[in-house]
Amino acid sequence: MIRLRWWCAIVLAVLAAQMSAATEPTAQDPDVCTMRMMRCYGARNERLPPIVLISTKDRRALSVDIGSTSVTIEFDLLCNVAPAVYVRFVHCTANWEEEQNAFLNDATLRTTLVDWTLAPSRARYWSHRGTLQVPNDQVQFRFSGNWKAKVYDIGTDQLLGETRFFVVEPLANSYMNFMTDFYDTKFKVSGFALTIENVVTDPSATLIDGFMHTSALYRNNRYWEPLIASTQIDESQNPSMIRTWIGGMAQGSKFFRFERIPSQNEYRVLDMTFVAQFPATGQPVRLPLTDLRRNGNFMIYGDDGAMITSNISSVDDDYVPIEFLLDPQGPPSMSDVFVLGSFNHFRPDPSWQMYYDEELRMYRVRNWVRRARHNYLYATGKLNIDDNSITDVSFEEWEGNSSAANQSFVAFTYYRMQDYGGYDGIIAVSMGSLSNSR
């Protein structure tokens, strides 16, 4: 009787496990597609910001040398069969809220004309890469502003992923002024900071001061963490030490000032182009050197936050599991620690949270990384386990500040257009760094 009960228990456990596995969507199910990565960049150049310039009625006296005639959208999927997806384009406000105006967000502004590339035969993490350039014969952008490209499964209308880009209609000139600044640090690091002014001029003298309401400042290739100076948008999303100030249209100019921006460090570099050092065997590759606190010190320069894949051959274009190791050189942090880089859009995410190994006395995390030359940094924050949100993101504890970190910034100027019920259009864009502005 005891043996019979034992066998019954085993059979029930196996059946329960099979039922549980059958109800969970996996990459082996033919109808399931999983987004692995999605990105956007200018024209066909991975280093260019994702900015589309559209024509204006009068380009006289305007000098715009930032932006392209198109952007490239690229995404990797894991599917068992050829993916059936469509890409929809959505216009957003200056703070990335999707517009509800049907004139702006026409339901037909979508495309299925995606060029597909197959992953190498040994690849297990991804299977298909979709690429498209917009605008094209099927998709045109009539309105400037913030735009999202959202990829959906055709069969289920499930959102698989999204990326961001900008459409600029140059109606004004702008340039950036960079100044050094200081702030009170929480840790024993350099208190070096930046003050940046985005100066906007109106050569036509037709723009209305009150309609020019917002400037958004981004570090190049990091378009999910804007700094906002605005008369209409809540600025509470800015880090607490940053102050903003907006000046009027004196002598035809208006300026948006951002004070006490921590400069952060020069990017750390993960160069995975050497296949022998980063083989695609499916086994985690531990970084050869343990990362340390830098507090302003670095040996090589990064790529301004860009992911560079141009030197990767098609047969080696794969994802490799990487193990990051961070030596705290003392007690662990009181905050949660994350890896942020070009492989995850510099966005803190629970899947990139490091845990402290008591035996090694180091922070560790393993994750899949596309083979490329990457830039990355370490950040701290507070993870809310209820909704997976991360707040109080800071680079101060692990990266410190360095005046020699030559990261570029991109500034967009938003104007309240009155056509089609009103929308936030971008009328000027400028780009620069501490050593070079334009």
Q: Report whether 402 contacts 192 (CB < 8 A).
A: yes
Region 293-310: what's the mean pLDDT? 90
Per-residue pLDDT band at 251 (split at 50, 70, 90): low
Question: Which of 223, 174, 144 is CA-nearest to residue 66?
Answer: 174
pLDDT in tens, 320-339: 999 999 999 999 999 999 99
Higher per-residue confidence, 299 vs 431 = 431
**Which domains, from first to last, does the chain contain?**
34-168 (2.60.40), 173-263+405-432 (2.60.40), 268-399 (2.60.40)
pLDDT in tens, 202-215: 988 889 999 999 99
d(CA 291, CA 240): 28
Q: For residue 144, what pLDDT is reported?
A: 97
Cα 178 to Cα 40, 110, 242, 249, 352, distances in angstroms = 27, 40, 15, 20, 33
Which burial class, exposed, middle or buried, applies to 136 when counting CB atoms under 10 A from its CB (0-12, 13-18, 19+)?
exposed
pLDDT in tens, 84-102: 999 999 999 999 999 999 8
d(CA 383, CA 355): 13
